[in-house]
Amino acid sequence: MLTRSMGRYLQWPLDRLAAVLSAARVPPNVITWSALALNLWAAVLFAKGRFAAGGGIMLLAGLCDLLDGPVARRQNRVSLFGGFLESILDRYADLILFLGLLVYYSHVNRFAEAMLAGASMAGAVMVSYAKARAESLVPPDNVGFWERPERLILLILGALTNRVHIVLWILAIGPNVTVIHRILHTWNRTKHIAPKQHPAESQVDSPAPADSRLPSASSARPTDLAGAPHYLTRSARRGG
């Protein structure tokens, strides 16, 4: 993919810059938060119609996105929470960038572009969500083209060349097509896999043999999940 190809060319300069930041003891989480702050700045510039300036700020934010991982590895600060935090902040960054464009096009009464910005926003979030949900069901498998780096590179190019309205057409269609692709791929991978039965459901569906030492159903506590109706156990397993 495009990101892997770019990574080969950028690996050496990124390693050198990561070494400098690591020696300066810059915490990787500070770099992660800096990327969000820069994207917020770019969104404000987009909302004002200053697309080229916003694209330049996005380049700096993208550099921070590329550096927080290498810096964390050099400082031995790699953690599960760090990866989780980065993913959450990346989603917020995606949203605020398109929100800035939505504000601008709404302000200048360009309804079509405002709708495209909204569709692009939805596609950006759903591509990531579809991937996360699919990987919770089947082994990871990169499906589709429109990962976050590809979307950001295209948006930066559109901003720097003042062709954002053209880029929005691509981003409103491409990522949402990738979502559909991932839905079909996951359906194909899971249609022959039987869902795992929850232990609580097994107890409900298969009643235990009678035992005079066990309390009767009428004396069971109402908070006992094993004695709850079938639909309540399924709801509890889904988290609500």
Domain containing residue 167: 2-189
For residues 57 and 61, give the distance between their C-alpha atoms in angstroms, rounded to a whole number.
Answer: 6
Nearest-10 crossing angle of helices 2-23, 148-160: 90
What lies within 8 Å, CB to CB, of 101 at 6+ separation is 46, 47, 113, 117, 120, 164, 168
How many Å separate Cα 133 from the centre of its chain? 10
> Residue 91 sits in a domain of what CATH number?
1.20.120.1760
Nearest partner of 186 among 117, 135, 119, 121, judged by Cα: 135
> Does any domain span residue 204?
no
Give mean pLDDT, residues 61-81: 89
> For the chain, what is the domain count?
1
Of the ranges 2-6, 51-55, 167-171, which one carries the lowest mean pLDDT score? 2-6
Q: Does the pLDDT at position 146 exceed 90?
A: no
At 170-184, the pLDDT tens digits run 999 999 999 999 999
> Does any domain span residue 67?
yes
At 77-113, the pLDDT tens digits run 888 888 888 889 999 999 999 999 999 999 999 999 9
Of residues 96 and 215, the one with the higher pLDDT is 96
> Does any domain span residue 202?
no
Distances (CA, A) of 181 to 130, 175, 178: 10, 10, 5
For residues 151 and 138, give the distance between their C-alpha atoms in angstroms, rounded to a whole number.
Answer: 25
Q: Which residue, chain included where needed, has tokens 């232990």?
A: 199
Of the ranges 39-53, 201-215, 216-230, which one carries the lowest mean pLDDT score? 216-230
Using a 10 angstrom Cβ sphere, with 0-12 exposed, 13-18 middle and 19 or more buried, the burial of residue 123 is buried
> Does any domain span residue 115?
yes
DSSP type of residue 216: P
Instruction: Report pTM.
Output: 0.73
> Does any domain span residue 81?
yes
Percent of the chain scoring above 90 in pLDDT: 45
Q: Does the pLDDT at position 220 exceed 60?
A: no
For residues 72 and 78, give the distance between their C-alpha atoms in angstroms, rounded to a whole number.
Answer: 5
> Does any domain span residue 226?
no
Spell out the alpha helix ranges (H) of the chain. Answer: 2-23, 28-47, 51-74, 80-107, 111-135, 148-160, 164-190, 199-205, 230-237
pLDDT band at 189 (very low <50, low <70, confident <90, very high): confident
Highest mean pLDDT among 39-53, 190-204, 223-237: 39-53
Q: Does the pLDDT at position 203 exceed 60?
A: no
> Does any domain span residue 131?
yes
| Dihedrals phi, psi of 40, to nearest 5 degrees | -65, -40
Judge whether 163 and 52 are in contact, CB under 8 Å.
Answer: no
pLDDT band at 169 (very low <50, low <70, confident <90, very high): very high
Of residues 108 and 205, the one with the higher pLDDT is 108
Judge whether 199 and 183 are in contact, CB under 8 Å.
Answer: no
At 120-145, the pLDDT tens digits run 999 999 998 888 888 888 887 777 78
Q: Does the pLDDT at position 158 exceed 90?
A: yes
> Does any domain span residue 32?
yes
For residues 57 and 55, give the distance between their C-alpha atoms in angstroms, rounded to a whole number.
Answer: 5
For residues 27 and 204, give the distance between their C-alpha atoms in angstroms, rounded to a whole number.
Answer: 50
